[in-house]
Copies of this chain bind each other. A is one copy, B any other.
């Protein structure tokens, strides 16, 4: 089965290789991950791995790109609109916070920061599928809210970026630098309420 998509990837162990590589790269970084370990983790021989990917860099980039895409998939979906702005902002903040504090987000952020010098396209990919995408989604919502007269914003992009940063306050940085493992509910509420209060003080009608 699945013989009808033979164009791009050839062979059945492809997904296994990617999966193993993802685990190891995300945990160890590019340099830290050895090809032997990746192969073992993937349950695949080294020769098979090299039959799919000519070298380690290409495998890494492929994995990293897929993870960025996955990041985009998990990004905020702004759907309901018949909710008061304050509530809506709070809901969105909580979703953002949940993502930002996830193991996945922390790992991919770390790896993209570390490797975006060696692989410049990686930085671009991450930014587009992360901060930029979120900016667009937020801007979209803010625009509608403005049209409904619930917010008053002249620079939508700026407002979106500001909101992102406010929600990241303290907790994200503390987790990235291994100061805390997970924030408590109280800590989360403090940051989110603070973010929403500040945002509405500036852009509320």
Contacts and interface: CB of A to CB of B under 8 A. Distances in A.
Given A114-B29, A198-B198, A202-B197, A190 B123 contact: no
Interface in A130-180: 131, 155, 158, 161-162, 164-166, 168-170, 173-174, 176-179
A174 B127 contact: yes
Contacts of A179: 123-124, 127
B177 A169 contact: no
A148 to B, nearest CB: 21
Copies in the complex: 2
A114 B124 contact: no
A130 B202 CA distance: 27
A64 interface: no
A161 B170 contact: yes
A120 interface: yes
A194 B126 contact: no
B32 A178 contact: no
Interface centre among A109, A158, A195 (most CB of B within 10 A): A158
A177 B31 contact: no
A80 to B, nearest CB: 26
Contact of A116 (B162, B176, B194, B199): B176
Contacts of A198: 162, 198-199, 201-202
A177 B112 contact: yes
A191 interface: yes
A113 interface: yes
